[in-house]
Amino acid sequence: MNTKVVMVEENNLDKNTIEEAGKVIREGGLVAFPTETVYGLGANALDEEAVKKIFIAKGRPQDNPLIVHVADFNIEFLVKEIPEIAQKLMKKFWPGPLTLLIEKSGVVPETTTAGLSTVGIRMPSNVIAKELIASAGVPIAAPSANVSGRPSPTEASRCVEDLSGRVDFILGGGVCEVGLESTIVDCTSTPPCVLRPGGITLDMLREIDSSIYIDPAVMKKIEGDFKPKAPGMKYRHYAPKAPMKIVRGELQKTIEKISEIVQNSIDEKKKVGILATEETKNKYLHGMIISIGSRADISSVGKNLFEALRKFDDAGVDLILAEAFEESGLGTAVMNRLKKSAGYDIIDI
């Protein structure tokens, strides 16, 4: 398959390019495109055969449901009814990095929802994404635009790296603003439940409904016959090629422990990558050090995390060591991704 790659700008959209990509979606093809979270790999959410192509292109497990992306608030045809809590959350956070899980209608194929009776829906705030969906004239099912299991792409070049020759069109649009996948809230449960933390934090959600909570399974390793209700719950996700360990504890002791492991690894002729921060990057004497942002601005950490993991892949490191973050606010989403990237290999000190 020949993959067409075109770069566009949010503030100066090439309408012809958007229309061309929309036509690809409408006719059953695959388009990678930017959102404010990560790049998505899109197909017509209502076309079962088109959706199947997503799973093939990514190598994605068939029981991992997809999120349906829409360009406006008219989602009635996709669901049986819109719960009151969903209406409130839509009004507050759409467009934006929030996915709502609602009982689906018959127009949504089971392939899109992995056989579940619910469908995850969100309206992205990224201008390119919204224009693409509107141009296609259909809702777009889209997981992250990467080979399944790898760190999600936040730059178009990473989509090309993973999907060139596997998809019809890659629509490039700069670096993603948030860098972490959307928050997912199950609006079918009472009280509503967060199934994946993201850019919309629990505190923000509780401003709308104080009873909203995070499913305890979100931060734990899940194996066996568990059937995920939302993307990212079951399988190893966001994973670099090298094994990764998280070191968790008081920051100075974390730095000392990482430095100790790095020295031992160097003695064993291993190349080590360190996920550091602006506050700690100069504390390490050896290893490949990447600062993913400031602890004083956790959003910078979320934005840079996946690209840092990709850079370690580029460098061919043998081991990655990551500092832990406080599991509150956006730090909950950051730690969720780190834990899955590391396969829950955590050193507590």
Show pLDDT as tens, one digit a residue, over the chain (349 residues): 899 999 999 888 999 999 999 999 999 999 999 999 999 999 999 999 999 999 999 998 878 899 999 999 999 999 999 999 999 999 999 999 999 999 999 999 999 999 999 999 999 999 999 999 999 999 999 999 999 889 999 999 999 999 999 999 999 999 999 999 999 999 999 999 999 999 999 999 999 999 999 998 887 766 556 566 776 665 566 889 999 999 999 999 999 999 999 999 999 999 999 999 999 999 999 999 999 999 999 999 999 999 999 999 999 999 999 999 999 999 999 999 999 999 999 999 9
Q: Give the domain extent around 281.
A: 244-348
Cβ contact 210:313 at 8 Å: no
Cβ contact 306:151 at 8 Å: yes
Q: What CATH number corresponds to the domain at position 33?
A: 3.90.870.10
In a domain, 230, yes or no: no
- Angstrom distances, CA of residue 124 to CA of 110, 181, 327: 23, 11, 25
In a domain, 19, yes or no: yes
Task: Provide the token pair at 311.
Answer: 């850079």
Please indicate, yes or no, whether residues 83 and 150 belong to a single structural domain of this protein.
yes
What is the model's pLDDT at position 60? 86
In a domain, 234, yes or no: no
Beta strands, E only, the chain: 4-7, 31-33, 40-44, 67-69, 98-103, 118-122, 140-141, 169-172, 183-186, 193-196, 213-214, 244-248, 272-276, 288-291, 319-323, 346-348
Please indicate, yes or no, whether residues 118 and 257 belong to a single structural domain of this protein.
no
Task: Provide the token pair at 17.
Answer: 């390019």
Please indicate, yes or no, whether residues 148 and 91 belong to a single structural domain of this protein.
yes
Q: How far apart are CA 73 and CA 97, in angstroms?
A: 15
What does DSSP assign to residue 293? Answer: -
Instruction: Name residue, tokens 């989509």.
Output: 159
For residue 56, the tally of other CB atoms under 10 A from its CB is 10
Q: Total domain count for the chain? A: 2
Q: How far apart are CA 90 and CA 67, in angstroms?
A: 15
In a domain, 101, yes or no: yes
Please indicate, yes or no, whether residues 252 and 196 belong to a single structural domain of this protein.
no
In a domain, 238, yes or no: no
Please indicate, yes or no, whether residues 142 and 274 belong to a single structural domain of this protein.
no
For residue 175, the tally of other CB atoms under 10 A from its CB is 13
In a domain, 233, yes or no: no
> Burial code of 65-98, b = ≥16 C-beta within 10 A, e = fewer?
bbbbbbbeeebeebbeebbebbeebbeebbbbbb
